Amino acid sequence: QSALTQPRSVSGSPGQSVTISCTGTSSDVGGYNYVSWYQQHPGKAPKLMIYDVSKRPSGVPDRFSGSKSGNTASLTISGLQAEDEADYYCCSYAGSYTLKVFGGGTKLTVL
Amino acid sequence: QVQLVESGGGLVKPGGSLRLSCAASGFTFSDYYMSWIRQAPGKGLEWVSYISSSGSTIYYADSVKGRFTISRDNAKNSLYLQMNSLRAEDTAVYYCARETPTDYIDYWGQGTLVTVSS
């Protein structure tokens, strides 16, 4: 199972919005509404930011939102803040054999 | 609060074995599916293995199938990963992770580093 495709890097200035895409296939992203997004700061464990495509866990700011269209999911971060600078990974359920596949990760730089 | 604490990582020679452990606390361990996820140095996340709450259902990534064995002891609130025939490409931080019914991970451990090198 190939990894989901994410841009290697994105950037934005404080207060701006950025969107990170995550492209898969009809066997993973397009086939299920089970896409999640994780934030990882250097040397730290990943943290859940979005689950089930667009749901936000308690404690995650509403500046973070998720969506999906066809085989591509997206994470949008509005009102960028310095602490949002991190790596972001998407993940999708991929069926009862492969189970779970991650994206290659996107480095967000807040300029 | 939910805590997942991994242990057992270290330096091992190619072809060697290592057993990772994950001690869970702050929740009813026996109610949850669990996974091991790994991250090679400077690389992305890779799902490794998954075990159901009872241990009756297990999945492995193709990259570790036949070499790694996941198990759990619900009486001890512990998850394990037995890693045999280790290769250089198995070098990574290994994370213990709590799964949810719709296959997202809501809690991660801090990770334990496994280095396979001669």
Question: pLDDT tens digit string along B2-21?
Answer: 999 999 999 999 999 999 99
Measured between alpha carbons, how far is residue B98 from residues A9, B49, B90 in Å? 28, 12, 22
A38 vs B: CB within 8 A: yes
Nearest residue of A to residue B41, measured between CA atoms: A43
Distance CA B108, CA B16 (A): 26
Quote the pLDDT of residue B38: 97
CA-only gyration radius of chain A, Å: 13
Distance CA A22, CA A12 (A): 18
> Using the 8-state DSSP alphabet, how is residue B101 labeled?
T
Quote the pLDDT of residue A2: 66
> Using the 8-state DSSP alphabet, how is residue B43 labeled?
S
Phi/psi region, residue B111 (left: phi>0; alpha: psi -120 to 50; beta: rest), is left
A34 vs B: CB within 8 A: yes
Check if the beta carbon of residue A19 is closer than 8 Å to that of residue A74: yes
Check if the beta carbon of residue B33 is closer than 8 Å to that of residue B53: yes
Quote the pLDDT of residue A97: 73
Check if the beta carbon of residue B102 is closer than 8 Å to that of residue A92: no
Check if the beta carbon of residue B4 is closer than 8 Å to that of residue B80: no
Q: How far is B55 from chain A (nearest CA, A)?
A: 16
A37 vs B: CB within 8 A: no
Q: How far is B112 from chain A (nearest CA, A)?
A: 11
For residue B100, list chain A residues with Cβ-Cβ distance below 8 A.
51
What is chain A's pLDDT, residue by residue, as a tens digit (111 residues)?
568 999 999 999 999 999 999 999 999 999 999 999 999 999 999 999 999 999 999 999 999 999 999 999 999 999 999 999 999 999 999 887 778 899 999 999 999
Which chain B residues have any C-beta within 8 angstroms of a chain A C-beta? 35, 44-47, 50, 59, 62, 95, 100, 102-106, 108-111
Cβ separation A45–B46 shorter than 8 A: no
Mutation to test the A interface, candidates B102, B106, B107, B110, most A Cβ within 10 Å: B102
